[in-house]
């Protein structure tokens, strides 16, 4: 983008694991924390050239082949118990956050993080 002189929006995707301790997933949590910090640093570096960089942080997104949390029914039951909004994150939820950052609706936002996890990050993982 810099070489071509193109202005626009870079959107990275991380995880709540990058924002708090991630027992048994240290490498994953560290990698997601790195993406978040990279996004913040990149936002500062490329803003003068008209490029924005933001990060979306979804959680509990089910997908084919996903085994964490058990079967789809078990994942839904877990989400009803530990997510304040009571469900898993849908792909459409994440897409909405990405579209927002890609659009002119957020044309003056850079280095921002949009967490779309139904409020899960706000809860105490010990009480899950």
pLDDT for residue 126: 57
| 28 carries an active-site annotation | yes
Least confident of 8-12, 46-50, 112-116, 122-126: 122-126
pLDDT digits (tens, 9 = 90+) for 70-91: 787 888 888 888 899 999 899 9
Residue 125 falls within a domain, yes or no?
no
Which pLDDT tens digit goes with each residue over 92-121?
A: 999 999 999 999 999 999 999 999 999 999
Would residue 92 count as lying in a domain? yes
CATH number for the domain that contains residue 103: 3.40.50.720
Q: Which residues contact 114 (CB under 8 A, 6 or more apart)?
A: 54, 55, 56, 57, 97, 100, 101
Identified catalytic residue from 7, 20, 28, 95: 28
Chain-centroid distance of CA 18 in Å reads 9
Contact 42, 10 (CB under 8 A): yes
Q: What is the dihedral of CA 118, 119, 121, 125, to 10 degrees?
A: -100
Query: What's the DSSP call for residue 90?
Result: P
The domain in which residue 40 lies consists of 8-119
In a domain, 53, yes or no: yes
Q: Write out pLDDT tens, residues 20-61.
A: 988 888 999 999 999 999 999 999 999 999 999 999 999 877
pLDDT at res. 18: 95
- Is residue 95 assigned to a domain? yes
Gap between the Cα atoms of 55 and 14, Å rounded: 7
In angstroms, the CA 63 to CA 74 distance is: 13
Q: Do residues 120 and 86 touch, judged by C-beta distance below 8 A?
A: no
Please report whether residue 35 resides in a domain. yes
The beta-strand segments (E) located in 14-118 are 51-58, 113-116
Instruction: Establish if 1 belongs to a structural domain.
Output: no
- The total number of structural domains in the chain stands at 1
Q: Which two tokens stand for residue 100?
A: 């927002």
Q: Is residue 126 part of a domain?
A: no
User: What pLDDT is stored for residue 66 in this prediction?
Assistant: 66
Give the per-residue pLDDT at 75. 83
């Amino acid at each position: 983008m810099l070489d071509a002189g193109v202005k626009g929006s870079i959107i990275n995707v991380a995880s709540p694991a990058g924002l708090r301790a991630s027992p048994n997933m240290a490498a994953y949590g560290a990698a997601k924390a790195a993406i978040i910090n990279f996004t913040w640093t990149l936002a500062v570096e490329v803003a003068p050239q008209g490029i924005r960089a933001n990060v979306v942080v979804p959680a509990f997104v089910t997908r084919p082949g996903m085994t964490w949390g058990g079967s789809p029914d078990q994942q839904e039951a877990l989400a009803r118990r530990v997510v304040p909004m009571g469900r898993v994150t849908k792909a459409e939820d994440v897409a909405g956050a990405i579209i927002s950052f890609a659009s002119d609706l957020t044309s003056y936002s850079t280095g921002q993080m949009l967490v779309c996890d139904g409020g899960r990050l706000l809860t105490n993982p010990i009480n899950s």
